[in-house]
Amino acid sequence: MDTGWLEVFREVAERGSFTAAAEAMGYTQSAISRQVSALEGATGATLFDRLPRGVRLTAEGQCLLSHAEAILDRLGAARDDLAALRDLAGGHLRVGAFGTADAMLVPHAMAAFHAAYPKVTVTLSEGFTPDHVAGLHAGAVDVAVLSTAPSRPFDTDRLELRHLIDDHMFVALPTTHPLAHRRVLRLAELAEERWVAGSGRIEDTLITASLRVGFRPRVTLVAAEWIARQGLVAAGLGITLIPSLAVAATRPDVVLAALHPDDAPVRAVYAATPRGLATPPAVVAFLDLLDNAVAELRVQINERVGNADRDSAVEL
């Protein structure tokens, strides 16, 4: 059954005339008559009584009309919904990100997206990179911000990756620390320091990169939240590592010095989408806004720590 026949049928029923329906739809009267006859043939029903002046619905026509209106209304709603997805006037965007990316980078992109496309509902799930990789494969996440390091690669075979930024490490020190004036530090200079870590297991923390060069920090305090770790550092109870993604959100009573790149491999940060699948318009728009957010973040990092790359070859 051609839905075009249903549209003609509804128009004739509303106007009570083949001629009036033809004028309204821009058809000839004979074209309207042929389409109504085709619908009657498809349904095996007589839909109109042909009168000397116009037509009138039969009982079968009355029965079909309610169904035709429901079908055409649903088709119209489907067209509207599809247009909303194309034009970003509706729909959903599901974003996943690891914790540090949620400090500045992802919120900036989400805020810009909401300002540009307020009718799209955006949700955010925070977790570790392997969780988001699984979410992308399962269709639970549309786009994810992932991090990796040489010691912790993840499977990229089924992902489209868009490099956003390289996440360098900074040493957070109390303002009264003897090394607080330094712009770049080496791990060897920190051998006797007390460290604040996010876990009692060094391999699960940012400090794990130090193990690669044979340095094992003396962890004296453990605090799961990085804001709490900053508080302990500010109080003079130890030092910790802060990734560049979180530098702009670091409290002002903590001094930051770049950790020499030979002592800590950088984490590459990517925006990831499933490979081989159509990319929704909302994801395309969000990826561009992530690029803009990266540019803003670079400026904020440099404002917070200065041009550290002159001394350390760290390119932010």
Residues 6+ apart with CB under 8 A from 115: none
> Which residue is it, tokens 């806004």?
289
User: Is pLDDT of 263 > 90?
Assistant: no
Residues 6+ apart with CB under 8 A from 225: 198
State the average pLDDT over residues 270-294.
95
Give pLDDT tens digits for 206-254.
776 666 667 788 889 999 888 899 999 999 999 998 989 999 889 999 9
Give pLDDT tens digits for 183-211.
999 988 998 999 998 887 776 677 766 66
Give pLDDT tens digits for 127-148.
888 899 999 999 999 999 999 8
Sign of CA dihedral 58, 60, 66, 71: negative
Q: What is the 3-state secondary structure (H, E, C) of the chain?
A: CCHHHHHHHHHHHHHCCHHHHHHHHCCCHHHHHHHHHHHHHHHCCCCEEECCCCEEECHHHHHHHHHHHHHHHHHHHHHHHHHHHHHCCCCEEEEEECHHHHCCHHHHHHHHHHHHCCCCEEEEEECCHHHHHHHHHHCCCCEEEEEEECCECCCCCCEEEEEEEEECEEEEEECCCCCCCCCEECHHHHCCCEEEECCCCHHHCHHHHHHHHCCCCEEEEECCCHHHHHHHHHCCCCEEEEEHHHHHHCCCCEEEEEECCCCCCCEEEEEEEECCCCCCHHHHHHHHHHHHHHHHHHHHHHHHHCCCHHHHCCCC
User: Is pLDDT of 8 > 90?
Assistant: yes
State the average pLDDT over residues 259-281.
89
Percentage of the chain with pLDDT > 90?
A: 65
Residue 269 vs residue 213, higher pLDDT: 269
Per-residue b/e over 140-150, b at no fewer than 16 CB within 10 Å? ebbbbbbbbbe
Residues 6+ apart with CB under 8 A from 152: 129
pLDDT band (50, 70, 90) for residue 313: very low
> Picking from 32-46, 175-189, 300-314, which range would have the lowest pLDDT averaged per residue?
300-314
Give pLDDT tens digits for 144-169.
999 986 556 677 788 999 999 999 88
pLDDT value for 211: 64
Geometric angle at alpha carbon 83, from 82 and 86, rounded to 5°: 90
Residues 6+ apart with CB under 8 A from 194: 218, 220, 221, 237, 238, 239
Sign of CA dihedral 194, 195, 200, 202: negative
pLDDT band (50, 70, 90) for residue 83: confident
**Residue 226 amino acid letter:** W
> Which residue is it, tokens 């876990």?
199
- Whole-number mean pLDDT of the chain? 89
